[in-house]
Amino acid sequence: AQSVTQLDSHVSVSEGTPVLLRCNYSSSYSPSLFWYVQHPNKGLQLLLKYTSAATLVKGINGFEAEFKKSETSFHLTKPSAHMSDAAEYFCVVSASGSARQLTFGSGTQLTVLP
């Protein structure tokens, strides 16, 4: 069984300040972990993914995430928020066993204030 918990349903930051979106996962197998972003009325876009290579993963638009097995966490960060980062972010886990479907977190709505 696999699950993912996004610890904050809403995060609000000022433009130019750091972003931290928190995610904890649970998986019976070595997981693959992803962060997806959904802008209003749009489909989901992959930001980055972890697949058991480097624990620090760099993604698009300046985002990165660190896989910490001891803490079962995969938090998403960005040094400096931009107005265009305002969107909903989903942390996603996929077990490497027979189940290949993605399990999504409940999402974190990021608001960027001017």
Partner 1 sequence: DSGVTQTPKHLITATGQRVTLRCSPRSGDLSVYWYQQSLDQGLQFLIQYYNGEERAKGNILERFSAQQFPDLHSELNLSSLELGDSALYFCASSGGDRSYNEQFFGPGTRLTVL
Please, which residue, 86 or 99, has the CB nearer to partner 1? Answer: 99
Smallest distance from the beta carbon of 41 to partner 1, in angstroms? 8
Please, which residue, 31 or 73, has the CB nearer to partner 1? Answer: 31
Q: Are 91 and 4 in contact (CB under 8 A)?
A: yes
Please, which residue, 17 or 26, has the CB nearer to partner 1? Answer: 26
Query: Judged by CB under 8 A, how many residues of this single chain contact partner 1?
Result: 25
Give, as ranges, the residues between 13 and 52 that touch partner 1 (CB under 8 A). 31-32, 34, 36, 42-46, 49, 51
Smallest distance from the beta carbon of 103 to partner 1, in angstroms? 7
What is the rounded distance in angstroms from the CA atom of residue 78 to the CA atom of residue 85? 10
Cα 112–chain centre separation: 17
**Structure token digits, residue 25:** 């996962």
107 binds partner 1 (CB under 8 A): yes
Residue 43: HSE in the Cβ half-sphere, 13 Å Cα cutoff: 2
Residues in the chain: 114
